[in-house]
Structure 1
């Protein structure tokens, strides 16, 4: 285990030396009109933390899925040893297009909390010389959007809105079904990007805030990447943590708690990540019943929950609205040319046993109005297991420098 260069006597945390000194506070020099804009500072900082948390979580679970798929497709003793030793099998290469303030924080967060080594990070920026510190550490840095997109499995779009059309024109022919595009570009929804790129494996976090949440306390003194080291905070970053159950005479009732953060994301964002991982496994020709087993291991870390998630995902497979299906990656055998979505008369029990592939989901159509989201919201134990796995994504087991 490599030591964190930033670690010091106070456990690696940054100390706010201006705390308790009113004359040194940022707010002191502001006029009354300028003070009205202070909530924007808090919102921007919290949004950046949410961005970094979402990116680290995606990389963590995607690497978990890739590891399981690697073992399934390579049923050898070596693959089994990789599984038992906890070594990453076929880890994802991470691409970042645009590397300003958010991009730099993203690199630090991925290295610290998603256990991504430098050599697996590829960055395209208009000013490669500004990232000499990362390049010297082993990060692949250049100004070549096509190179990053073709090399990487997960591509984070961090460019300015003014250049997004140019970037999309360059990368659109290099986005394959086994890749995920995660966009932070303001003003461009996932559906708008999908129309430009003719590619639907796109995840874009949508941030929610209101008058109540803007008044919540939030410290901006810590760098956004360092905030992910706070386990209590990372648990709150999971959208499911705002949901709880209460017992009534009629049974359990679901309650949505008031927001605890100035900015938060909804459950649909989590669903897109789940189905994005399912899309990857399907692109590797992993059958649906195996995919849901992998999903239980990766998202819940419990074999006891296999039957529940398997039934939910398979039922979602058969009841999926037609507009949410882009294509079927694989056709049935020559003797039976119909796809599994057309075989609506197959029973749930039979479908779980069938050698079927999931369709390739359009992630821009996935929202919280699907059965998996409903089960997570209604089932307290499943929800807690999901939140525990979310929080565990930020455990700093290994530090790569």
Structure 2
């Protein structure tokens, strides 16, 4: 049966607004765009880290979506994702990770003050409780989805329980990165920074609905894509740099030397056509000098490990990777393609 009220103006969101309030309607689209972008980038990050771990451990890691989540027990991802705070944005992040990556509910734990309200997530198999310090100890990736006003208390709860290898990903956009580092006494923190620009394609955010459904639309994927600001919401390019440095940290923590770490990075992020061009001398790949200065490169041998990079410093200072990416637009293009591949938009 069709919905008889679907097109009635009196049932529309805008109907009861005054003229002054209608001038603020663009804020609704911006909030929606930020929500979708935050979920897309959190999903991509989980996919990257999971793919690296699987590639190292089993050799079958890939950024491309799997056709099915019916893994054998030997190949199921072992990445542990913690979500601290599960209001609206926390729920959307959890659903996006479950539906758009190879991770399942078994990979996700949630700590929130009212776990009894998360019936939908619990029914899906997500373990929900209120134990911030326990979640921090358990997680490989810890998403901070709490309100900014709660962050000092949350950081106090988890600061002494964070393993050095745990990657903290902050969705609390109002709290500066350097303050987060001070509150947590932790270096492995990633925080996306967004800003708004004028764009003819900002109308893409006029499409409301389920976040996971919207993130299957090519126009939305492009609107959230780093290096491709098409929807009026721009992500700081330092975020992608932090992802790449973080991937190298994962390699080092899993005892992968410099040579194999770079090989894994190039295999996952650069398509075969680009690697073939590199063999003809047309296009460089990621090398040691892409990430560390020439002096440090001279001290590294292929069998040594990369240092554990300070991800806060990566996002707040100029790095060798900043200069490398600025000079190599084809590499930037491949990073765009890798992002699209993660959401199934193109074939590898």
TM-score by length of 2: 0.83
CA distance in 2, matches of 1:103, 1:141: 12
- Give 2:292's match in structure 1, choosing from 285, 308, 317: 317
Query: Residues 137-160 of structure 1: CA distance to partner in whole angstroms, max 9, x if unpaired?
Result: 211110111221111111100011
Structure-2 separation of matches of 1:17 and 1:98: 38
The 1:264–1:21 alpha-carbon spacing in structure 2 relative to 1, beyond 3 Å, is farther
**Contact in 2 for aligned 1:103/1:158 (Cα 8 Å):** yes
Q: Shift of residue 214 of structure 1?
A: 9.6
Question: 2 CA distance for matches of 1:65 and 1:174?
Answer: 25
Give secondary structure in 2 for the equivalent of 1:119: helix
Cα distance, 1:17 vs. partner?
8.7
Equivalent of 1:357 in 268, 291, 305: 305
In the other structure, the counterpart of 1:388 is 337
Is the counterpart of residue 163 in structure 1 residue 150 in structure 2? yes
2:228 counterpart of 1:241: yes
With 273-282 and 363-372 compared, the bigger mean Cα shift is at: 363-372
| Counterpart selection for 1:274 from 230, 233, 244 | 244
1:284 CA drift (Å): 2.2
Matched, 1:183 2:131: no
CA deviation profile, 1:192-216 (whole Å, cap 9, x unmatched): 1111111010001111114x24993
**Structure 1 vs Structure 2 CA RMSD:** 2.9
| SS state at 2:179 partner | helix
Closer/same/farther in 2, CA of residues 38 and 69 from structure 1, 3 Å limit: same
Does residue 193 (structure 1) correspond to residue 141 (structure 2)? The answer is: no
Unaligned regions of 5+ residues in structure 2, if any? 60-71
Give the whole-Å Cα distance in 2 for the aligned partners of 1:126 and 1:54.
25
Give the drift of 1:120: 0.9
Q: Please say if residues 105 and 126 of structure 2, whose CA atoms lie closer than 8 Å, have aligned partners that are also in contact.
A: yes
Q: Distance in 1 between matches of 2:3 and 2:221?
A: 21
Q: 2:202 — aligned with what?
A: 216
Q: Distance in 2 between matches of 1:180 and 1:263?
A: 25
Shift of 1:179: 1.6
Q: Give the Cα separation in 2 of the matches to 1:163 and 1:283.
A: 31
Q: CA deviation at 1:110?
A: 0.7
2:284 corresponds to which of 280, 283, 308: 308
71 and 162 in structure 1: CA distance in 2 versus 1, 3 angstrom threshold: same
Q: Contact 1:16–1:221 at 8 Å: present in 2 too?
A: no
**Structure 2 residue 126 is the aligned partner of structure 1 residue 139:** yes
Structure 1 gap ranges (5+): 1-14, 73-84, 243-259, 320-339, 397-401
Are residues 104 and 23 of structure 1, via their aligned partners in 2, closer, same or farther at CA, if it must alter by over 3 Å? same
Distance 1:345 1:301, change over 3 A: closer
Contact persistence 2:173–2:192 (CA under 8 A): no
Residue 37 in structure 1 maps to residue 24 in structure 2: yes
Counterpart contact for 1:42–1:262, Cα < 8 Å:
no
Quick check: which has more Rg, 1 or 2? 1
Contact 2:292/2:320 (<8 A) preserved:
no
Following the alignment from structure 1 to structure 2, what is the Cα–Cα distance between the partners of residues 171 and 67? 28
Ranked by relative contact order (alpha carbons within 8 Å, sequence separation 6 or more), the top structure is: 1
Q: Using a 3 Å threshold, how does the CA distance of structure 1 residues 71 and 213 change in structure 2: closer, same or farther? A: same
State whether residues 39 and 214 of structure 1, in contact with CA within 8 Å, keep that contact through their aligned partners in structure 2.
no
Contact 1:58 1:273 in 2 (8 A): yes
Give the Cα separation in 1 of the matches to 2:319 and 2:228: 19
Pairing 1:52–2:39 present: yes
Distance 1:224 1:137, change over 3 A: closer
The answer on whether the counterparts of 2:140 and 2:166 sit within 8 Å (CA) in structure 1 is: yes
Aligned length: 324
* Cα deviations by residue, 1:64-111 (Å, 9 ceiling, x for unpaired): 111122147xxxxxxxxxxxx9x7465311100000011111111111
